[in-house]
Amino acid sequence: MRTIVSYIITFLFFSTCFADGDLIKIDSLNKLVGLQSGRERIETLISLSEAYRKVSFEKSLRTGTDAEQFASDEGFNALKGKILLSMGESASLSGDYALALDYYNKSLNAYKETDGFAELAETYNKMGLVYKNLAEYDKAIEYLMIATDLEKEHNLVSQLAGSIANIATIYFAKGDFNKAMDGYHQAQIVYKDLNDTLRYAKMTMNIGLVYWQWDENQLALDMLLEAKTIFKQKDDFVELGRVYNNIGMLYYQDVKDTVKALEYFENSLAIRELLGNQLGMAVVLANIGNVYRDRNQLFEAFEKYDKALRISEAIGYKEGEVRTNYYIGIAYKKSKKFIESNRYLEKCLLMATKYGIKNYFDIVNEAKLKNFAALGDYNGFMEEFRIYASTKDTLAVELNEMRTREAEARYKVNEFIPEMDRLEAENKHQLELIHLYRYSFISMIVIVITIMLILVFRKSKNVPVN
């Protein structure tokens, strides 16, 4: 009951904050745009289009189209890239990835004509994230690498850190946690140097998730809670929705506290519904389904799974489809419907194999192994057992501990790199001084010897010959 009350209070609080604030902002912008002309009018139309995202996707795109048309009519072609980039972001947030890519491609063409390198890199970055959500990981990395090349060439330090972090997120999704940790930590160091508190907190959260995968649960929880505090201070509701979901996952899977987990999940869902974040809603609905599944409230569990799966399929969120099919398979296993369980587990495995999401391979294999045992299906059991025997790593725990120690050591070295560079520069300077003193000393000796030889020579000339 306390959880439900907390959810309702949180939902109402955020609803009031968002609704009132958004409507006031939209009303103000509508009044302002009628009084403006030229560049100012276009900038206001872009802001109005972005404000409409939380109210009406249709109005958001219509306003963006108005901005693009006005820019064309008035000859402000340099602003077209910005308008199209904003419209692409609106489409991406709504889950319409095909439309998002269309706008982003148009934005690329517009920016190429104006040499807007920072904006060009940003567009490549956003396209990479869309392909990541479509589970087209190679293509995602391809676009993100183009962004990093531009950012390196034009010394766009903060944007480069963002691209590195996005590539790390792809490695995380694929289950390559070492590469994910490398990228997150590189970005975290940059954001710390730039005093960018919010992005630093995002990297802290992401690093916490890697530690969680390595079973360093307390360290992971500490990092997530640290990030949550910063997000609340900065009123970053997008990231707050993410961190609530992640903390809920940790409480659910490792602390085994379903009450606390459900509280965090429902807070996350309330925020994501208000933001219209379809992808985020799909993620957290599936997680809420797991809580109900473990409480044997299977009707409620399947209801949440069905919503999560329908959203993921509608927006083309492949990771969400893989994840939810796995959860449904486990729910059917729990309800002893083993054949139905295997059907969903096989769907999960086929998609995971197709898109290279390898962290599902072992857990699907183990679940199917148990299903075949329960069914008394000897042939099915032996087939899964052969897979199990060939892939099971008996040193998994030791490997995770080794990875954790390796990562910590590597990052401590990274933290000392600036100091090492300073000491190296000092040593180089000292070495140059030593060489200078040495050459000076040798020169003085040569001069002294020369003077002495001259004196001796002169003295010898003054000695009378007997």
Q: Who's near 250: CB < 8 A, 6+ residues apart?
A: 212, 217, 220, 221, 224
pLDDT tens for 273-301 read 988 889 999 999 999 999 999 999 999 99
| pLDDT of 7 | 44
Confidence class for position 54, pLDDT limits 50, 70, 90: confident
The model's pLDDT over 313-336, given as tens digits with 9 standing for 90+, comes to: 998 899 999 999 999 999 999 999
Q: Distance (Å, rounded) from C-alpha 313 to C-alpha 95?
A: 10
Distance, in Å, from the CA atom of 464 to the CA atom of 419, rounded to the nearest integer, reads 69
404 contacts 216 by C-beta, under 8 angstroms: yes
Neighbours of 256 (CB within 10 A): 10
Percent of the chain clearing pLDDT 90 (strictly above): 53
Which bin fits 194, alpha (ψ -120 to 50), beta or left (φ > 0)? alpha
Of 455 and 72, the structure prediction assigns the larger pLDDT to 72
CB 64 within 8 A of CB 87: yes
Tell me the C-alpha to C-alpha distance, in Å, between residue 278 and each of 48, 231, 454, 459.
21, 21, 94, 102
What is the value of pTM for the model shown?
0.70
Predicted confidence band at 456 (pLDDT cuts at 50, 70, 90)? very low
Phi-psi map region of 136: left, alpha, beta (phi>0 left; psi -120 to 50 alpha): beta
pLDDT of residue 73: 86
Cβ atoms of 342 and 374 closer than 8 Å: no
pLDDT in tens, 360-376: 999 999 999 999 999 99
What is the token pair recorded at 345?
A: 């587990």
In this structure, what token pair is assigned to residue 64? 């963006």
The most confident of the ranges 111-115, 398-402, 416-420, 427-431 is 111-115
Q: Do 329 and 348 form a contact (C-beta atoms < 8 A)?
A: yes
The per-residue pLDDT for 34 is 81
Give CA separation, 152 vs 73, 133, 141, 160, 414, in Å.
36, 25, 16, 7, 20
Average pLDDT over residues 112-123: 88
> What are the backbone angles phi and psi of residue 175, rounded to the nearest 5°?
90, 10
Query: CA 318 to CA 200: how far, in whole Å?
Result: 28
Q: What is the pLDDT of residue 430?
A: 66
CB 268 within 8 A of CB 246: no
pLDDT level of residue 466 (50, 70, 90 thresholds): very low
Per the listing, tokens 């190296």 go with 424
Count of helix runs (H) and strand runs (E) in the chain = 20, 0
- pLDDT of residue 3 exceeding 60, the answer is no
Element (H, E) at 204: helix 197-213
For 282, the token pair is: 């799909």
Would you say residue 56 has pLDDT above 60?
yes
Mean predicted confidence (pLDDT) in 36-46:
87
Lowest mean pLDDT among 55-69, 116-130, 144-158, 444-458: 444-458
HSE of 251, CA atoms in CB hemisphere, 13 A: 20
CB 68 within 8 A of CB 84: yes
Look at the domain 296-389 and name its fold: 1.25.40
State pLDDT tens for residues 101-114.
999 999 999 888 88
Cα distances from 315 to residues 25, 90, 98, 323, in angstroms, run 28, 13, 9, 15
Whether 242 and 279 have beta carbons less than 8 Å apart is answered as: no
Residue 214 in tokens = 């390595």
* pLDDT averaged over every residue in the chain: 84
Name the DSSP letter for residue 76: -
